[in-house]
């Protein structure tokens, strides 16, 4: 990627982050720069990735627990979409767990401002989570994030993604065809939810209608979930991370070694980072 494009990406991410004020999205604390580096400082989210919880600690989750994490993600996407942001990078690794066990959407490096009715044609995201419209160049809307949510919910409940294949082209073919099968352990309500989210036809996809995220929240799989309590973070999380902040003791005899600080940011680019 040319340097100027990298600069634009960094500036855009900073602009997006500084406008986020949701319990379900990571929040920026401050920014800074020197002659060699740019710094984005985030509020700490110390519980690790949802990927680690599912892949290494608990394994595939029962539906009652998976529902909590899916609902947190819905609220995060709802907030981004309400602020005209297409996320484009939903995956287990980008969902961080805070000290109360709640999820926060992180890494807006490829997110994009996108107004209702607009489309983008850039090829972005993680292949397993890409919606068919990425692959057939039909133009991408906020609906692509709801497809990715379907992949995420499938993975949380099963331990694997629905379109996985040994070769990328085989996976892309499955995605375009909408060819997946649910484990027998999935409840009828979960199968129905996935059918709505993993709908190839964008206009018929759950979340793509005029009521947007409300379509997803009102699906029977979420029946009984107190969305207001969840939004206020009053609902008990199914798992609490063991988070303890310890002060690192000072070492009186630390040996120092010279390190490379990298190249200076060119003066021509520094102007783009004014007041960074």
Query: Rounded distance, CA 175 to CA 126, Å?
Result: 13
> Could you say which of 89, 98, 128, 145 is catalytic?
89
Query: Rounded distance, CA 78 to CA 87, Å?
Result: 10
Q: Is 98 considered catalytic here?
A: no
Rounded to the nearest 5 degrees, what angle is found at the Cα of 247, between the Cα atoms of 245 and 252?
160
Please report the sign of the dihedral spanned by the C-alpha atoms of residue 180, residue 63, residue 56, residue 98: positive
Query: Rounded distance, CA 126 to CA 238, Å?
Result: 27
Query: Rounded distance, CA 59 to CA 243, Å?
Result: 20
3: enclosing H helix or E strand: helix 3-17
Long-range contacts of 210-215 (CB under 8 A, 24+ apart): 212/78, 212/81, 212/142, 213/74, 213/77, 213/78, 213/81
Q: Which residues are catalytic?
A: 89
């Amino acid at each position: 990627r040319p340097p100027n494009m990298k600069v634009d990406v960094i500036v855009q991410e900073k602009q997006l982050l500084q406008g986020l004020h949701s319990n379900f999205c990571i929040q920026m604390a401050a920014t800074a720069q020197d002659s060699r580096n740019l710094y984005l400082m985030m509020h700490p989210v110390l519980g690790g990735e949802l990927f680690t919880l599912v892949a290494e600690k608990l394994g595939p989750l029962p539906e009652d627990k998976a529902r909590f994490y899916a609902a947190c993600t819905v609220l995060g996407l709802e907030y981004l979409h309400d602020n005209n942001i297409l996320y484009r990078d939903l995956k287990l690794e980008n969902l961080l767990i805070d000290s109360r066990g709640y999820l926060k959407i992180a890494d807006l490096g490829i997110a994009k401002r996108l107004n209702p009715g607009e489309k983008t044609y850039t090829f972005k995201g993680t292949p397993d989570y890409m919606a068919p419209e990425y692959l057939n160049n039909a133009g991408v809307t906020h609906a692509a994030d709801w497809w990715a949510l379907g992949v995420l919910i499938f993975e949380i409940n099963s331990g694997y993604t629905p379109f996985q294949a040994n070769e990328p082209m085989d996976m892309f073919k499955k995605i375009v065809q909408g060819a997946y099968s649910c484990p027998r352990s999935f409840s009828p309500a979960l199968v129905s939810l996935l059918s709505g989210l993993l709908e190839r036809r964008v206009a018929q996809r759950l979340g793509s209608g005029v009521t947007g995220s409300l379509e997803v929240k009102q699906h029977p799989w979420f029946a009984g979930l107190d969305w207001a309590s969840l939004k206020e973070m009053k609902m008990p999380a199914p798992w609490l991370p063991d988070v303890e902040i310890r002060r690192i003791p000072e070492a009186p005899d630390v040996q120092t070694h010279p390190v490379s600080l990298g190249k200076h940011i060119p003066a021509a680019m520094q102007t783009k980072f004014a007041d960074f």
